[in-house]
Amino acid sequence: MLEEIAEQPAALEKTISEERGKIARLGESIKKRDVDLIVLVARGSSDNAALFGRYLLEITTGIPVSLSAPSVHTLYNAKLNLKRALVVGVSQSGEGEDINRVLENARASGAFTIGITNEPDSSMVKLVDETLLMHGGRERSVAATKTFTGQMMLFYMLAAALAKDNCGIECEVIPGLAARALEQKQAIVELVQRYVFMENCVVVGRGLAYANAYEFALKLMETCYVVAERFSSADFLHGPVAMIERHFPVILFAPPGVMLEGTKDLIKRLRELRADTLTITGDLDAAAMCSRSIIMPREIEEFLAPIPYIIPAQLFAALLAEAKGLDPDQPRSLSKVTRTL
């Protein structure tokens, strides 16, 4: 897992290089189809990448985006009208049976379908109209890291290609920002020692960072066996804040942008409740209000933050598992490919 986390800058660079031309042509083709709905379908970490894609695509394209409920297709056998829809399946392996069933049904219902996967010879590739590939090589650890950020990168590129106006997303700078995020490793080695006995926590993020909260919580659950609930900062104040007591651990993503002030207001409230707060942030005021912090480069702006900001979280989960005497590469009860219908 640690090796694959370290491979991410090079993997992202290669994905941009290999898929740039295809995505540009694909964007022009999709624009001519007059798409008025985008549906994303995924499970696990891929579903968290899709959650990020939902925010990014809606903001940049103005097209409503829905996260598919696969059981609508696989268990209820519903027939949907998708003639003006773009349906995107996201799967590391390309072998998720429920994801592929949705793609198959969507194509039969008139949708244009895209598969995002790491496996060019997978079943998914044979079902869709077009395939977008990650180029980071095979992922050996059960816990997804480089495939997660690879999926995020492909959503960046797709959003840039579909945007009505120049959305200003500079994908080319993200691998370098990811490399800078890896520099936090030694600080995180020391930090995780304070959380060796953590059994429960809350992870908070909002907006473009909301998916990061979901992914970090998933990593803590699958590699460290920590019960990690995840919330947007807004939803957290609508009830769940009641569970916070002295020393309860709350981990917050506080990147720059429109969500920062609201996150800082939440940190103030958590401070009043004497929670144990850890923030991943480039804002020194937010960091100063928390019990502990992972300081990110201040120049990482909001739209480019999700990938570099998830890397310290990946490192935290892998290093915490190691500190707990666990093997993050082989979590109990899990396998790399999960088949559900």
Is 278:249 a contact under the CB 8 Å cutoff?
yes
Q: Which fold does the domain 2-169 belong to in CATH?
A: Rossmann fold (3.40.50)
Are domains 2-169 and 176-323 of this chain identical in fold?
Answer: yes
Q: Which CATH architecture has domain 176-323?
A: 3-Layer(aba) Sandwich (3.40)
Model confidence pLDDT, tens digit, residues 185-218: 999 999 999 999 999 999 999 999 999 999 999 9
**CB contact set of 324 (below 8 Å; sequence gap of 6+):** 196, 224, 225
Q: Distance between CA atoms of 14 and 8, rounded to whole angstroms?
A: 10
Residue whose structure tokens are 């993997």: 11
pLDDT digits (tens, 9 = 90+) for 254-283: 999 999 999 999 999 999 999 999 999 999
User: pLDDT means per 10 residues in the chain (341 residues)?
Assistant: 97 97 95 94 96 97 94 89 96 93 95 96 96 92 94 97 81 96 96 96 96 98 96 80 86 96 93 95 97 96 97 98 92 60 64
Question: What is the CB neighbour count within 10 angstroms for residue 211?
Answer: 28
How many secondary structure helices (H) and strands (E) does the chain include?
14, 10
Q: Where are the beta strands (DSSP E) in the chain?
A: 37-42, 65-67, 85-91, 112-117, 130-133, 200-204, 227-231, 249-254, 276-281, 292-295
Contact 108, 132 (CB under 8 A): no
Please report, for the chain, the start and end positions of each structural domain, with discontinuous segments joined by +.
2-169, 176-323
**Cα–Cα dist 311/318, whole Å:** 11
Answer whether 297's CB lies under 8 Å from 265's CB. no
Name residue 230's beta-bridge partners.
203
